[in-house]
Amino acid sequence: MFEIESSHPDFEGYYNYNSLNGIEVLEGSKLMYDNFFENYMLPNIPCVIKGVTSKWKSSQLWVKDDAPNFQYLSEKYGNNNVTVHKCSERYYNCQKSYKTTLTDYLEYFQECTSQDSNPSKLEYLKNWHLKLKYQEDDFYEVPIFFASDWLNEYYTHCSDDDYRFVYMGPKGTWTPFHADVFMSYSWSANVCGRKRWLIFPPGEEIYLRDVFGNLPYDIENENHSQKFFEVIQEKGDAIFVPSGWHHQVWNIEDTISINHNWINGCNIKMMYDSLITNFIAVQKEIEDCREMEDFEEHCQLMLNSSFGMDFHKFYEFLKFIASSRIDMKKGTSPKTSFIGHKIGPNHILFDLKSVKTVLELFINLEEVNSLKYFIDTDVKPLELLHQITVVLDT
């Protein structure tokens, strides 16, 4: 069992990505968690880690002759419903999608590999929650570097959802320009195939906005005079995309990848800041309705729709992580992550300090002190803050 641990329980003053001249390529077998934590995750710097998928069952079973093993995938998972995106059909700032079975999609995919793909008919299977349905299927293992994953720890315990995905698509399929949900980190590992990434440091995307403030859908033909990085991701590579780094991705070969979005103590403040930014935007959008009854509750409904989480859900998320780490610190629950890695004592403290920092900001919001949910909830924000403080002081 590996241990998730860092020698640095504090996290002030690390957010400086300008020290990196390019995307560093690291050897997974030689990379230690502490090094990744301090030099990439904490300062929010991207990197590529090689050799991540070599021992995965999917690398053997899903791949044949360096290409997708269509027969195995169809026999094993063919009846599953999947979401497929049409790369040539835009729907707002996404691609138009439809539902089908994996077997039907694999038939299309296999046809693409036997002849030149028609660019106007390229289709990309994305966001397939395969692990959620096949919990006991160990087709991959989360690399130790990405194991501190509050988002999937919370969602797999408290809902029927997760942020663990399989992507697969023929050469030429692509994902439009975007930053990841909740201002989360993401990691993506190629089981087979190769990808091309364009990645922009936080703030650089501003120069790509049009006169209406909209970001581009496709940056392939944009003027990239500002700072960005281009990465070719090979089979077996995992790429770490930090919070707030906008990116666009192309499959330059037939490709299958496994991807996670994730939040932890290093980027929870960024998630909080994004939540508040979106909340302020919602308030501004319906400012004319401020005198309506239940205005703040209506803002929360809109926030949940646009951001994917409202204040209630965000607090439940913080409360779940805080309660888990408090129990670990007291010794009343196992000191292990939801995927079985041991969590060291410094990391438990780091997680609690990170929640405390954000919770103190959250409590000072006027809406948190007025919304009915926070008045009636079983553990109120101030009470949770007190519990964390007591544990940290012992």
Q: Report which of 311, 167, 319, 330 is spatially closest to residue 249, judged by C-alpha positions.
A: 167
pLDDT of residue 13: 34
- Decide if pLDDT at 115 tops 80: no
- Decide if pLDDT at 211 tops 80: yes
286 pLDDT band (50/70/90 cuts)? Answer: very high
- Tell me the pairing of strands 123-128 and 81-91: antiparallel
Phi, psi of 342 (to 5 degrees): -70, 135
- SS3 breakdown of the chain: % helix, strand, coil, rounded to 5? 40, 25, 35
Taking CA atoms, 16 is separated from 67, 145, 170, in Å, by 39, 20, 37
State the Cα–Cα distance between residues 146 and 130, nearest whole angstrom: 19
Amino acid (1-letter code) at residue 108: Y
289: left (phi over 0), alpha (psi -120 to 50) or beta: alpha
- Decide if pLDDT at 1 tops 50: no
For the segment 53-90, what is each residue's pLDDT rounded down to a tens digit? 999 999 999 999 999 999 999 999 999 999 999 999 99
The answer, as to whether pTM is greater than 0.95, is no
3-state secondary structure of 308: coil
CA end-to-end span of the chain, whole Å? Answer: 28
Per the CB < 8 A criterion, the answer to whether 360 and 385 are in contact is: yes
Domains and CATH numbers, the chain: 3-262 (2.60.120.650), 268-393 (no CATH)
Mean pLDDT computed over 293-303: 92
Per the CB < 8 A criterion, the answer to whether 197 and 289 are in contact is: no
Q: What is the dihedral of CA 254, 255, 256, 258, to 10 degrees?
A: -170
Per the CB < 8 A criterion, the answer to whether 124 and 176 are in contact is: no
For the segment 334-387, what is each residue's pLDDT rounded down to a tens digit? 999 888 889 999 999 999 999 999 999 999 998 888 888 887 788 999 999 999
% of the chain with per-residue pLDDT over 90: 82
In sequence order, the β-bridge partners of residue 4 are 343
For the segment 139-187, what is each residue's pLDDT rounded down to a tens digit? 999 999 999 999 999 999 999 999 999 999 999 999 999 999 999 999 9
3-state secondary structure of 34: helix
- Decide if pLDDT at 2 tops 60: no
Strands (E), 92-200: 94-101, 123-128, 164-169, 174-178, 185-192, 195-200
DSSP 8-state secondary structure symbol assigned to residue 336: B
- Tell me the pairing of strands 24-27 and 3-4: unpaired
What does 352-384 look like in DSSP terms, one character per residue?
Answer: HHHHHHHHHHHHT-TGGGTSHHHHH-SS-HHHH
State the Cα–Cα distance between residues 394 and 385, nearest whole angstrom: 15
pLDDT of residue 222: 72
Mean pLDDT computed over 116-133: 90
Amino acid (1-letter code) at residue 153: E
Per the CB < 8 A criterion, the answer to whether 48 and 231 are in contact is: yes
Taking CA atoms, 318 is separated from 171, 272, 279, in Å, by 40, 11, 18
